């Protein structure tokens, strides 16, 4: 990419919306990163180049770049320049989606490792969650999901055999639990809890994280009509993933 291309792209991306100019510059830069026009580790134009090309004050450019750096979009290296940061993967906080599709949509390579796939007996907590008797059979799986060979999610899942009888016979290297369950018992409702946690020793090994590295945990239970299909724990290294949600309201 030539030195003038990023500046031309940025000029074209700045909207005419009635927003503060520093915010319009920020939004334009974010747009270039999200679209893939500005790639991770690519050097972005200097403050002087941006001031001259966009015809705005240095204070405006400095504020935009400073805030983008604080928000994780850019990395500024003293004496070297400003570069596009490696962006975290993300998953929708208020939706139940496929991590394989999320990773593929970013143009990255997806794979998984099946750690456990077996039948277990429901203990008191699981019996309550599934509304079954203690000791009744459940299917259990544990998978590690990888984005470009980096572990980004540890999925621990209990499944209702009455709704997914062939669960243990699936080759989850070629079809994820999400895809299989979406076919045999489509989600009609669900609930989840999101919290920050530290991984235990086993989880640290599977996710390749340290004991002090924070993780994001989604605890999710889903239903097919009146029956619970699955109870899952989805653990993400906090430095590699972010949860994204959106909402709208008539009140501000």
Cβ contacts of residue 14 below 8 Å, gap of 6+? 24, 25, 28, 54
* Residue spans per domain, the chain: 5-84, 89-244
- In CATH terms, is domain 5-84 a member of 1.10.10.10? yes
Helices (H), the chain: 5-13, 21-35, 47-54, 58-70, 99-105, 124-130, 177-184, 201-207
Q: Nearest 5°: CA angle at 123, between 125 and 141? A: 95
Strand partners, 156: 142, 233
pLDDT at 24: 83
Whether the Cβ atoms of residue 184 and residue 175 lie closer than 8 Å to each other:
no
pLDDT at 249: 46
CA neighbor of 224 nearest in space, from 169, 162, 134: 162
Per-position pLDDT tens, the chain of length 252: 445 666 776 776 676 555 688 888 888 888 888 777 888 888 888 899 999 988 889 999 999 998 888 877 888 887 788 998 876 655 554 456 788 888 887 788 999 999 999 999 999 999 999 999 999 999 999 999 999 888 999 999 999 999 999 999 999 988 999 999 999 999 888 888 889 999 999 999 999 989 998 999 999 999 999 999 999 999 999 876 666 554 444 443
Q: CATH for 89-244?
A: 3.40.1410.10
pLDDT at 251: 41
Helices (H), 99-200: 99-105, 124-130, 177-184
d(CA 28, CA 6): 11
């Amino acid at each position: 990419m030539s030195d003038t291309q990023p500046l031309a792209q940025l000029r074209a991306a700045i909207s005419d919306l009635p927003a503060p100019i520093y915010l319009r510059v920020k939004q334009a830069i974010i747009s270039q990163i999200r679209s893939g026009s500005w790639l991770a580790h690519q050097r972005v134009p200097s403050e002087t180049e941006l001031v001259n090309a966009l015809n705005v004050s240095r204070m405006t450019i400095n504020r935009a770049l400073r805030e983008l750096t604080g928000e994780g979009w850019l990395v500024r290296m003293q004496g070297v320049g400003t570069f596009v940061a490696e962006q975290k993967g993300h998953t929708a906080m208020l939706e139940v989606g496929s991590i394989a599709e999320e990773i593929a949509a970013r143009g990255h390579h997806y794979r998984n490792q099946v750690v456990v796939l077996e039948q277990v007996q429901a203990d008191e907590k699981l019996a309550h969650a599934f509304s079954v008797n203690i000791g009744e059979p459940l299917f259990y799986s544990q998978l590690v999901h990888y984005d470009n060979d980096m572990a980004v999610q540890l999925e621990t899942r209990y499944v209702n055999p009455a709704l997914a009888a062939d669960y243990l016979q699936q080759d989850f290297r070629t079809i994820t639990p999400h895809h299989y369950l979406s076919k045999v018992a489509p989600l009609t409702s669900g609930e989840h809890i999101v919290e920050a946690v530290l991984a235990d020793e086993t989880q640290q090994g599977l996710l390749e994280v340290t004991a002090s590295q924070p993780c994001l945990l989604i605890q999710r239970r889903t239903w097919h009509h009146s029956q619970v299909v699955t109870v899952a724990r989805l653990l993400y290294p906090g430095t590699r993933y972010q949860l994204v949600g959106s909402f709208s309201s008539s009140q501000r």
